[in-house]
Amino acid sequence: MGTEPAKELLKKWKLHNLTVEMATGHTLQHLDMLHDTDQHATIQRQQIISSLKEIQTTLRSLRHDVDALIAHTSMPPSKPKRGRPRKDG
């Protein structure tokens, strides 16, 4: 069983072309769709948070590796110039 967009239902309600029973049925269907959407969004949000935590861990590890290499070579860390690509070689 399908439902109509909320604005269309409101228009029909104002024109008295929608019974209380029909409005209740449509409302329940909309609530069910909202619940499903919310559950899906919650799962996606949890996956994104998990991915971000993995990225943070990787970045910390890379930062540690870079710091160790700098310390090993006794080179001062360079400050990247913004807006210009670095020249290699």
Give 22-79 pLDDT, tens digit per residue.
999 999 999 999 999 999 999 999 999 999 999 999 999 999 988 888 888 876 767 7
CA distances from 11 to 34, 36, 51 (A): 21, 25, 44
The answer to whether position 83 is within a domain reads: no
The answer to whether position 80 is within a domain reads: no
pLDDT of 55-71, one tens digit each?
A: 999 999 999 988 888 88
| Domain encompassing residue 29 | 6-73
The dihedral through the CA atoms of 33, 39, 45, 51 has a sign that is negative
| 35 touches 41 (CB < 8 A) | no
Give the model's pLDDT for residue 53: 97
The answer to whether position 34 is within a domain reads: yes
The answer to whether position 84 is within a domain reads: no
The total number of structural domains in the chain stands at 1
Beta carbons within 10 angstroms of residue 26's beta carbon:
21
The answer to whether position 12 is within a domain reads: yes
